[in-house]
């Protein structure tokens, strides 16, 4: 069941919810729509569910026009953030609801409904709780009931609208891993809306990063984290340092450092911004000829990871670095220590000379040539 979304547009008065969105979703794929509030991800999900319609564009499933099919006939299971369970119905009746309201010709028998619901209760690890009411369940259990209700109709497409948003952190981690296993077991095509980047990166086969009604980047979790295609993706996913740079003679100048980098073909002279993840900053207490001279600020220990603030006078910035907690303790890192800092690699975006904006098409990955001896002394 291949889904093809082509040039979708949707406006609400002056607000552009979707702006020329195109996307292909393969059978059995788990796709996460990730973005801030107002980016268009829920509008896109509602169009797939048949709860809204685009002003322009096509949605096709295996070549069939899905927009001409009613929501009831689309074979879609939908799970909301706030469960939307019927409080006056038992867990059993909530799960059976979608089957009981089918037209008589398509409605399973009572025995078949009972058998299917009992199987689903076991699948979502709620066997024995069919006679309880939603108010008698925990938040995580209620979310599983909502998922079981969506699965009861045996959907071709499962749509999840921030299903874990109302749960506490520990329950969220448990449920999303359980959901991933369930997805692999059932082989459903799943579209998952979230603004939580950790959920998207952990759950999805591919992540669709959205911003202001447009798709910024589509890729595997590793691709969108390690190889962001735009400044927005860099800043929205994960932690990152932004460093003003200048380009001259095919080299990158950042503060008092000029990186002997690969040729910056097509960029020319000008200015831009370099992005570097905290884990891609290396530093040592040994004084080296190459690298920024800096001073350690606070060292924060967060379980197995240490976050280190590094004050770099040449840049006029405080950079964030990250390393293992055990290594930070072994090195005896403390505020006030003098260090030399070097980026293992940088992703640079040049400013467009006409607009002054960072131009995603003028993106280059720079691997500074410090020499192996210098890098070998870094951590």
Domain match, 179 and 304 both: no
| Token pair 């006056």 in the structure block, residue | 88
Domain match, 8 and 72 both: yes
Domain match, 227 and 371 both: no
Domain final residue, candidates 214, 231, 248: 231
How far, in Å, are 242, 257, 325, 326 from residue 305 at the CA level? 21, 28, 5, 8
Residue 19: CATH number of its domain: 3.40.50.300
Output the pLDDT for position 279: 94
State which residues form the domain around 149: 3-231
Phi, psi of 199 (to 5 degrees): -60, -45
Domain match, 187 and 254 both: no
Domain match, 214 and 295 both: no
Domain final residue, candidates 185, 211, 231: 231
Domain match, 81 and 138 both: yes
Confirm if 372 and 282 have CB atoms less than 8 A apart: no
Output the pLDDT for position 233: 97
Domain match, 43 and 190 both: yes
> To 10 degrees, the CA torsion angle through 262, 267, 268, 269?
-100
Residue 288: CATH number of its domain: 2.40.50.100
Total domains in the fold of the chain: 2
The string of pLDDT tens digits covering residues 91-103 is 999 999 989 988 8
pTM: 0.88
Domain match, 112 and 226 both: yes
Output the pLDDT for position 89: 94
Domain match, 192 and 244 both: no
Domain match, 297 and 244 both: yes
Domain match, 181 and 97 both: yes
Domain final residue, candidates 199, 231, 263: 231
In tens digits, the chain (379 residues) has pLDDT values of 789 999 999 999 999 999 999 999 999 999 999 999 999 999 999 999 999 999 999 999 988 999 999 988 898 999 887 778 899 999 999 999 989 988 888 899 999 999 999 999 988 888 899 999 999 998 889 888 998 999 898 898 999 998 877 677 777 788 888 888 888 888 889 999 998 899 999 999 999 999 999 999 999 999 999 999 999 999 999 999 999 999 887 788 999 988 766 667 778 889 999 999 999 999 998 888 788 999 999 999 988 999 999 999 999 999 999 999 899 899 999 999 999 999 998 999 999 989 999 999 999 888 876 544 444 555 5
Domain match, 278 and 227 both: no
Single out the residue of 67, 84, 95, 51 nearest to residue 5, CA to CA.
67
CA distance linking residue 327 with residue 226, whole number of Å: 23
């Amino acid at each position: 069941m291949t889904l093809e979304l082509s040039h979708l547009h949707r406006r609400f008065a002056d607000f552009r919810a979707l702006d020329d969105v195109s996307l292909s979703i393969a059978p059995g794929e788990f796709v996460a729509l990730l973005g801030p509030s107002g980016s268009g991800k829920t509008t896109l999900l509602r169009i797939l569910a048949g709860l809204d319609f685009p002003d322009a564009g096509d949605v096709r499933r295996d070549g069939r026009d899905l927009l001409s099919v009613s929501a009831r006939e689309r074979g879609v299971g939908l799970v909301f953030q706030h469960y939307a369970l019927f409080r006056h119905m038992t867990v059993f009746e909530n799960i059976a609801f979608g089957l009981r309201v089918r037209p008589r010709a398509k409605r399973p028998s009572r025995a078949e409904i009972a058998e299917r619901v009992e199987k689903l209760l076991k699948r979502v690890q709620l066997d024995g709780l069919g006679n309880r009411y939603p108010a008698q369940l925990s938040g995580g259990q209620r979310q599983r009931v909502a998922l079981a209700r969506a699965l009861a109709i045996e959907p071709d497409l499962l749509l999840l609208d921030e299903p874990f948003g109302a749960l506490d952190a520990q329950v969220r981690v448990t449920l999303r891993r359980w959901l991933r296993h369930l997805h692999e077991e059932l082989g459903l095509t799943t579209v998952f809306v979230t603004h939580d980047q950790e959920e998207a990166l952990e759950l999805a086969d591919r992540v669709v990063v959205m911003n202001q009604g447009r798709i910024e980047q589509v890729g595997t979790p590793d691709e969108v984290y390690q190889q962001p295609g735009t400044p927005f993706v860099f800043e929205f996913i994960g932690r990152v340092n932004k460093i003003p740079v200048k380009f001259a003679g095919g080299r990158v100048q950042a503060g008092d450092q000029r990186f002997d980098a690969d040729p910056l073909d097509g960029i020319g002279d000008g200015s831009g911004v370099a992005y570097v993840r905290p884990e891609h900053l290396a530093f040592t207490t040994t004084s080296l000829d190459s690298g920024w001279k800096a001073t350690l600020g606070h060292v924060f220990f967060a379980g197995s990871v240490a976050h280190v603030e590094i004050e770099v006078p040449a840049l006029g910035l405080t950079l964030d670095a990250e390393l293992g907690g055990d290594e930070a303790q072994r090195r005896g890192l403390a505020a006030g220590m003098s260090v030399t800092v070097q980026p293992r690699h940088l992703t640079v975006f040049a400013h467009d000379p006409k607009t002054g904006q960072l131009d995603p098409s003028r993106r280059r990955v720079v691997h500074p040539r410090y020499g192996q001896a210098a890098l070998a002394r870094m951590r």
